[in-house]
Amino acid sequence: MVARHESFTIQTEARPEFHDVTGRVQEIVARSGAKEGIAVVFSQHTTCSVIIQEDSIDTTYNGTKFLMQDLLDVFERLIPQCRKEGQYLHPGPKCAEHCVNDVHEPLPFTLNTDAHLRSSIIGRSESIPIVNGELQLGEFGRIYFADFDGTRARERIVRVQVVGE
Amino acid sequence: MVARHESFTIQTEARPEFHDVTGRVQEIVARSGAKEGIAVVFSQHTTCSVIIQEDSIDTTYNGTKFLMQDLLDVFERLIPQCRKEGQYLHPGPKCAEHCVNDVHEPLPFTLNTDAHLRSSIIGRSESIPIVNGELQLGEFGRIYFADFDGTRARERIVRVQVVGE
Amino acid sequence: MVARHESFTIQTEARPEFHDVTGRVQEIVARSGAKEGIAVVFSQHTTCSVIIQEDSIDTTYNGTKFLMQDLLDVFERLIPQCRKEGQYLHPGPKCAEHCVNDVHEPLPFTLNTDAHLRSSIIGRSESIPIVNGELQLGEFGRIYFADFDGTRARERIVRVQVVGE
C-alpha cells in the first residue's frame, strides 16, 4: 500500500491569484510509486481553494488566465471584494481584538471576508484518480491553486496526499 | 492498511445551522490508528454540507458564527429561502404526492429547495490529509457540518471514513 | 487492499444534462470487492461535475429533474449562458486561434464559458464512504453526472476510483 504525503509552498501577491501546480502534483504522484489510487490536492488555508480547469491560454495584463478572471468577475457580483469593516459581519469586534492582541497582525489583514466565502463555495481540495501511475486530468485539465485573499503577499502551503497501491 | 468508518449524530433546530465537529473527527482519526492517509467527512443528507472554515469568533444573537451568517446572506441573494410552493419548480406535483402518500410527512417539509441547492454548491464532503496521525487543518481551520434546511428540527448523521495506514 | 478504477461513457445532447449514474457506480463498487473505503466519482471534463442530490421525481418537458432545473435557473442569473464571443473574457483571441489551428473544432464550440464556471463552482467529483460494501448515499441520495456544456452533443467519460479493503 502507498499512503504518502508531500507539501510545497507558493509565494502569492496582494491580489487574487491562480497558480498552475499540475507539474508539481505529477512529480509527487510519480515519487509516491502509486499505480492505482487517488491524489488529494488540498489547501489548508481558509481563503484558498484547489480548482481543476482548462488552461484558457489568454491572460489579463496581470497574468490571470481569462477563465479565472471570468470566475473572479462572477464572484465580484455575488461576493464583492471586502473593502472596509462593516461591509460583511465578519470581521466582528471579538475577531478584531483577537487579531490585534493574539495574532499581532494589522487589522486590514482581516478584511478578507470575500476570500473566505469564495473559498467555501469552490471548496478546499480536489481528489483525482491515478490510473497506471498517471493523474486522470483529461486532455485539457490543469490543477490550479487559487488564493482569493488580496489583502497581502503571502507564502501558501499546498498539500498532496496519495493513497493507493 | 486502515479503512475505518465511524458516524455520529447531530441534533439541529428549525433554522440553518453550522456545527463545529472538529473534535469529533479528530477523535475518530485517533481511534483509527492511521498515521498517514485521508479522512473523508461526509454528509449523506442532500440539504447539508461539510465546510472547512476559520472560527470567526463573533456570533449572531442565535449563535451563528459571523462568517457562516455572511455565507447565508450571500446565499439569500442567490438562492432565496423557499417560503411557499411555486417559488422554485421543486417540489412539483408528483413530489408532493410522494411526500403525502409514501413518506407520510407534512407538505411544508418539502419547502427546502433552497437548502438542496445551497448544499449542491458547497458540496457533500471534505477530504482532509492525515500526516503523522494529525488532521492537516492549518492554524485556523475548523470542520463545520452545515444544515441548510430550516423547515424543522432534525437528527443528522455525519460520516467519517479514514483510509490510510 | 483494494485500489480499483473503472470508467464508463455517457452520451449527452446539446443542452445541459444531468444523468443518474447511481446504479453504474454501485455495480463498480460491488465488482471492486471493497467492504470498507471510499469511492471517488470523478469527471475529468472541465465543463462537467458530479453532484449528489435527491431524485426530485417531477421533470421538465425535456426530462430535466425539477431540482436540477432549479439549479440551472440559479446559475442562469449568476453565470448566464454564453451566447456570443465577448460576453465573457474567455474564449480570448489566442484560445480561438488554438481552437481553429490545433484542435480543429468550430469556434462556436468554445462558447461554453458558463459551463466551465458552473462546473468549477460545483466541483469535479464526490467522495462517498463505502460501509459493509454499500455506498452511503442515505435514503434519498442519487449520484448525478452533470454536463453543463450545451454547445453540442458529446460522449463523456465518468471515472470511479475505489480505495479501501
C75 to chain B: which residues are within 8 Å by CB? none
d(CA C102, CA A37): 32
Sign of the Cα torsion C11, C17, C23, C29 reads positive
Contacting residues for A15 by C-beta, under 8 A, at least 6 apart = A62, A150
Please write the tens of the pLDDT for every residue from C103-150: 999 999 999 999 999 999 999 999 999 999 999 998 889 999 999 999
B91 to chain C: which residues are within 8 Å by CB? 56, 58, 66
* Amino acid code (one letter) for B100: V
Average pLDDT, chain A: 97
Count of positions (residues) in chain B: 165
d(CA B56, CA B64): 10
**Number of other residues whose CB lies within 10 A of the CB of residue A164:** 28
C64 to chain B: which residues are within 8 Å by CB? none
- The grid cell for B121 is 454548491
Q: Are B56 and A91 in contact (CB under 8 A)?
A: yes
Contacting residues for A41 by C-beta, under 8 A, at least 6 apart = A21, A25, A50, A125, A126, A127, A128, A143, A145, A158, A159, A160
d(CA C139, CA B99): 13
Sign of the Cα torsion A125, C140, C19, B88 reads negative
What is the average pLDDT across C22-40?
Answer: 98
Option in C5, C42, C46 nearest A36 (CB): C5
Chains touching C, CB cut-off 8 Å, 3+ pairs = A, B
Instruction: Name B37's bridge partners.
Output: B130, B164
CA distance C81 to chain A (A): 13
Query: According to the model, what pLDDT value does residue B60 have?
Result: 97
The predicted model scores a pTM of 0.97
Query: According to the model, what pLDDT value does residue B139 have?
Result: 85
Q: Tell me which residues of chain A have a C-beta less than 8 Å from any C-beta of chain B.
A: 1, 3-5, 40, 42, 44-46, 78-79, 88-95, 98, 113, 116-117, 120-121, 123-125, 127, 157, 159, 161, 163
Reported ipTM:
0.96
Query: According to the model, what pLDDT value does residue A110 have?
Result: 95
What is the average pLDDT across A104-116?
Answer: 96
Contacting residues for A64 by C-beta, under 8 A, at least 6 apart = A16, A17, A18, A72
CB contact under 8 A, C122 and B121: yes
What is the average pLDDT across C10-28?
Answer: 97
* Amino acid code (one letter) for B119: S
d(CA C128, CA C145): 14
Report DSSP state, residue A65.
Answer: B
Query: According to the model, what pLDDT value does residue B79 have?
Result: 98
- The three-class DSSP label of residue A145 is strand
Query: According to the model, what pLDDT value does residue A62 have?
Result: 92
Whether cis (ω within 30° of 0) applies to the bond prior to C80 is: no
Give the pLDDT band of residue A139 (cuts 50, 70, 90).
confident
Option in A60, A122, A131 nearest C121 (CB): A122
Contacting residues for A125 by C-beta, under 8 A, at least 6 apart = A40, A41, A42, A43, A50, B126, B127, B128
- Whether A154 shows a pLDDT value over 90: the answer reads yes
Query: According to the model, what pLDDT value does residue C56 have?
Result: 96
What is the average pLDDT across A28-47?
Answer: 97
Query: According to the model, what pLDDT value does residue A112 have?
Result: 97
What is the average pLDDT across A128-156?
Answer: 96
Count of positions (residues) in chain A: 165
Option in B3, B79, B159 nearest C74 (CB): B79
Average pLDDT, chain C: 97
Option in A37, A51, A137 nearest C163 (CB): A37
Query: According to the model, what pLDDT value does residue C139 have?
Result: 85
Using 50 as the pLDDT threshold, list the residues of chain B that sit under it.
Answer: none
* A36 CB-side CA count, 13 A: 15
Give the pLDDT band of residue A48 (cuts 50, 70, 90).
very high
Cβ-count burial B67-81 (b if 16+ within 10 Å, e if not) = bbbbbbebbeebbeb
What is the per-residue DSSP string for B12-77? E-SS-EEEE-HHHHHHHHHHHT-SEEEEEEEE--TTEEEEEEE----B-TTS-BHHHHHHHHHHHH
**Number of other residues whose CB lies within 10 A of the CB of residue C56:** 27
Please report, rounded to a whole number, the percentage of residues in chain A having pLDDT higher than 90: 98
Average pLDDT, chain B: 97
